[in-house]
Amino acid sequence: MKRGFLTALLGVWAALILPCCAHAQIYYDSEIYYDGYNVNGYAFVSDWEDGTYLYAYAELNDPNQARMSSDQNYGYYEASVSLSGSPTVSGSYSLYTDYWYFDDYRGNWYELGEDYNGVYVAAPPVVTSVTTSGSPWYGGGSYTFAINGSGFAGHSVTFSSTDPFESSSLSVASDSLIQGSVLVWSTWGLHTSIYIWIDGLALAAATFAVEPAQPPVCAYPFFLIQNGWGQDVGNGTLRMSYIFGSSSGNLQDVQRSGCEIREVLVQPGVLAPPDFAWYPPVPFPLADPQYNPYYQPGQSLNNTDGGLIDNHSLPGNVFRPPYYPYSAYDTDQVYQFRCSCYNSNQWNDMSDHLTISHVLQPPTYTVYKTNITPLDGWSSATLTPIQPPQ
């Protein structure tokens, strides 16, 4: 307790000559409790029947017995002290109190008694970081989020409102992680904020802005690059893997823009009207007749990973004699795209012109294809031995 303060009081009151009075009953009490945010302590002493000078001291300590706060007060008839502190660790928080009264007859202060009380407090939640897959959250969009920190276990978490969401999830994954996801109504038309509340935390753990749906973004695929060397997957088949980007930076915009991709093949020989039938030259396997140039039907770009796979192989592996020591032909290939919102839905090149070479050096067939950025040279696949007709 504050002995210096009492010494001063003793010095004052010892010099006074007051009439003697009896004190039938002096009441004192204390209380400590946790309100979910702070540890609170209260000390009270009173003598309403006779009246005298009273003194109260209170001290709030953490689980390590380190003083969080303290205070003292004195008054005639009654004295009280209120304390409050924010808990930082789990454990038992204690309140020490001490009470004194002034004896008018003897002219001195006397201790009424001391009191100890305690309350156990679980560590309050602490938020260290918040991440989300996109910000703000727009109408029609799907988003995930994570709240990192400590002390989450055993606490409930809630949205301030779920009105903007067609569906949503929110849960305490561990003592250090809260995670969730939302799908915003495509018809959402308000500018608002959604708060994540954690039981036991006075402030919102996270705040996310929710906005109306953005106007449609016209995006197209671009910057086609090669995803590693081509793979020989067997039977004379060469598998090429590519990756493309989005002009908007978001591949989902390409999907929403109604984009398609195709390849255009130009075979050796004279380019002729569309009714011209082109066949592979002897000794390569016979294929169904093909237009030259050949325009592949467009395929929807409905994937959002930017991946593209192209397999190159002969229509069959039955080669037609006569065989020569060396036979070959080249095919010119280019990839093209079109989007309903871009360039009047016309086809546009998205790669350089590439060469696919078919080479037969009996008994081995090899298919080669030009590599593109970031690789140089060729990728290839082989078939050995070739299969002659029966």
Distance CA(254)–CA(231), nearest Å, equals 28
Distance CA(147)–CA(203), nearest Å, equals 14
Distance CA(46)–CA(225), nearest Å, equals 85
Query: Do 229 and 371 form a contact (C-beta atoms < 8 A)?
Result: yes
pLDDT of the residue at 24: 53
Provide the token pair at 167. 């569906």
Buried (b) or exposed (e) across 248-268, using 16+ Cβ within 10 A? eeebebbbbbbbbbbebbbbe
pLDDT of the residue at 150: 85
With CA atoms as reference, report the closest residue to 148 among 184, 195, 180, 121: 180
Distance CA(4)–CA(10), nearest Å, equals 10
DSSP annotation of 342 reads B
Strand partners, 187: none
CATH topology agreement for domains 3-121 and 126-211 = yes
Distance CA(357)–CA(130), nearest Å, equals 53
pLDDT of the residue at 240: 95
Strand partners, 117: 95
What dotted CATH number matches 126-211? Answer: 2.60.40.10
Query: Do 21 and 68 form a contact (C-beta atoms < 8 A)?
Result: no
Strand partners, 58: 71, 97
pLDDT of the residue at 105: 85
**How many alpha carbons fall within 13 Å on the CB side of residue 232?**
14
pLDDT of the residue at 13: 33
Q: What Rg, from alpha-carbon coordinates, does the chain have? A: 42
Domain boundaries, the chain: 3-121, 126-211, 221-383
Tally: H helices and E strands in the chain: 2, 27
pLDDT of the residue at 6: 38
Query: Do 338 and 349 form a contact (C-beta atoms < 8 A)?
Result: no
pLDDT of the residue at 89: 76
Distance CA(351)–CA(342), nearest Å, equals 17
DSSP annotation of 309 reads E
Distance CA(216)–CA(195), nearest Å, equals 28
Q: Give the contacts of 390 (CB within 8 A, at least 6 positions apart).
A: none
End-to-end Cα, the chain, rounded Å = 109
DSSP annotation of 387 reads B
pLDDT of the residue at 131: 96
In CATH, what class is 3-121?
A: mainly beta
Distance CA(181)–CA(194), nearest Å, equals 13
**How many alpha carbons fall within 13 Å on the CB side of residue 267?**
18
With CA atoms as reference, report the closest residue to 387 among 326, 321, 313: 321
Mean pLDDT by 10 residues, the chain (390 residues): 34 33 74 91 89 93 92 94 88 94 90 93 86 93 94 89 96 94 94 91 89 84 91 94 90 85 87 70 83 86 81 84 90 93 92 94 93 90 80
pLDDT of the residue at 250: 86
pLDDT of the residue at 23: 53
Distance CA(20)–CA(346), nearest Å, equals 109
With CA atoms as reference, report the closest residue to 133 among 307, 255, 250, 306: 250
